[in-house]
Amino acid sequence: MIDLNAPRLRRRILRNQCCSYVFNAGFDVYVIGGYLRDLLLTGKSSRDIDFAVNGSPRRLASTVAREFGGRVVDLRKERMMRVVLKEGVTLDFARMNGDIVEDLGGRDFTINAMGWSPDSGLIDPHSGLRDLRDCRIKAISRLNLLDDPLRILRAYRFSAELGFTITASTRRLILPISGRLRSSARERITYEFFRLLNAENPISALKSAHSDGVLSQIISINNRQLQRNLKLISTLSSNSKKLLEKRFFKEFSQGLSRLGLLRLELLMLGARLEGSLLAVSSDIRKRINVTGELYNSLNNDVKSKSSELFDIFWEARDASEDLLIITDMTRLFVELRQFNRIMAKGLMTAEEIMETSGISGGPGLGRLIKEMKRLRFMGRLRTIRDAGRWISGLESY
């Protein structure tokens, strides 16, 4: 619900100690961007606040950092100064290009092109309020998208996070220039894309990104496979109530949630990470590779082949749960819990196995331990006595 009550907006902004201090520090400064947008949209303030400064951003940032015990970071590529405070609060200060109206005209989308100061009140030269009310993502100009091609991807990220629709005119601007996204830093692309995947319901934005040629810039994969993968993501949440558990909304790596990771694993089926525009951590890379390799190994009759299921879990290890969810084989969670119990504690210690078998260690011991766990998973070894008899009956290993 858009709240246009001017006195209430003023109170909400100045109630923030950082904002109040900035506006009383003797600078010509405006709060702009996402902080203002979210405050208007939800009445809630975010931890990230953007300011446009008519003067020296460095001097104002240093003043604020001293006052609140923060750390100043010079973001030269973004042409701004950032103050990092406790509890994840960040304040970004950028020098205005011209006056405030001219500066707002250089931003990405109309809903982010509003400004506010105690003296001016709300400034909205591009009808951002109207688009905010109509739940629309609308680019200010083609030139602004070309000025920073990452804005192309940000359109779909905002669409996913806010549940807004990208206007047809904006999508027409994006389609012929989607390839320009490849000039952006992979780290920046990854950050935006992971935020998209973390959204409550990103499928509409992903489909739009695919239709507009953006998704194929990020993921190296043929069109038919990409369409199949998008369908799999569409059915992911509806097929598994387990995804509603809080742990799936916690970060896995690089800001990507567990739920976002599951979506990425599906999206990357049949794709090559090396050919993508994503710069992923080793943990994410491992999950994508493992689930991609084992995705087709699970089928409806695998449960009856407990030895085969054991091999799948053995190879997947920590990715086993992901694999069962994305293949819609969650009915095998009972078997996975059994596997995890067996992996956590064996019937015999390694020392006991070596003493009984006469093996001194090395690869042979590893193979023997694996086979004992397999037989236990299959129900053929249940007790320490069963394990001892089985080892004693081996001629060699």
Pick from 373, 384, 371: which is nearest to 340 by CA?
373
Phi, psi of 73 (to 5 degrees): -120, 130
Q: Which helix (H) or strand (E) holds 37?
A: helix 33-42
Phi, psi of 154 (to 5 degrees): -60, -30
Average pLDDT, the chain: 93
**Residue 277, by phi and psi: left (phi above 0), alpha (psi -120 to 50) or beta?**
alpha
Tokens of 328: 């819609």
Instruction: For 192-339, list the strands marked E by DSSP.
Output: 251-253, 256-257
Q: Is the pLDDT of residue 363 over 70?
A: yes
DSSP 28: E
- Kindly indicate the confidence band of residue 160, based on its pLDDT and cuts at 50, 70 and 90: very high
- Kindly indicate the confidence band of residue 177, based on its pLDDT and cuts at 50, 70 and 90: very high
Phi, psi of 318 (to 5 degrees): -65, -20
* 277 Cβ neighbours under 8 A, 6+ residues apart: 181, 182, 184, 186, 189, 190, 217, 218
Q: 192 or 303, which is more confident?
A: 192
Widest Cα–Cα separation across the chain: 89
Rg (CA), the chain: 27
Alpha carbon dihedral 222, 226, 228, 229, in 10-degree steps, equals 140
Q: Is the pLDDT of residue 396 over 70?
A: no
Q: How far is CA 158 from the centre of its chain?
A: 13
Lowest-pLDDT range, 119-128, 159-168, 351-360?
351-360
**Cβ(312)–Cβ(302) below 8 Å:** yes
DSSP 164: P
- The per-residue pLDDT for range 311-346, each reduced to its tens digit, is 999 999 999 999 999 999 998 999 999 999 999 998
Please return the burial class of 226, using the count of CB atoms within 10 Å of its CB with bins 0-12, 13-18 and 19+: buried
* Percentage of the chain lying above the pLDDT 70 cut: 97
**Cβ(135)–Cβ(164) below 8 Å:** yes
**Cβ(205)–Cβ(199) below 8 Å:** yes
| Residue-level length of the chain | 397
Tokens of 394: 């081996």
DSSP 199: S
**What does the pLDDT average to over 157-168?**
98
- The per-residue pLDDT for range 70-127, each reduced to its tens digit, is 999 999 877 899 999 988 899 999 999 999 999 999 999 999 999 999 999 999 999 9
- Kindly indicate the confidence band of residue 38, based on its pLDDT and cuts at 50, 70 and 90: very high
| Strands 90-95 and 136-137, bridge-based pairing | unpaired
In order of their start, the domains of the chain are 1-132 (3.30.460.10), 297-392 (no CATH)
Classified as helix, coil or strand, 166 is strand
